[in-house]
Amino acid sequence: MTDLASSLAEIEALKGLTGKTAWDIAVCPPFTPIERAVERTESSGVVIDAQDCLNSRQPVDLQ
């Protein structure tokens, strides 16, 4: 996904695949289109998740 319009178009195309595949469909768009992606996929079976946006120079302890 490189720009907002194409990202949202790809998400729209994925909505047509839900229920037709043996896999769950999850999309992790960049932060900027997350709200619109969630709105477009409500009740569609496509799950919107987030990318790891951690920007730290320090090691992260994941205990």
Which among 18, 24, 7 has a CA at the least distance from the CA of 43?
A: 18
State residue 63's pLDDT score.
Answer: 63
Instruction: Kindly report the backbone phi and psi dihedral angles of residue 27, in degrees, each rounded to the nearest multiple of 5, phi listed first.
Output: -125, 135
Which DSSP letter does residue 18 get?
Answer: T
Q: Please, what is the average pLDDT of the chain?
A: 76
End-to-end CA distance of the chain: 32
More confident residue, 38 or 15: 38
Q: Hey, CA dihedral for 45, 23, 3, 28, is it positive or negative?
A: positive
* pLDDT number for residue 26: 85
Mean pLDDT over 27-50 rounds to 85
Taking residues 49-63, report their average pLDDT: 67
**Domain ranges within the chain, ordered by starting residue:** 4-48
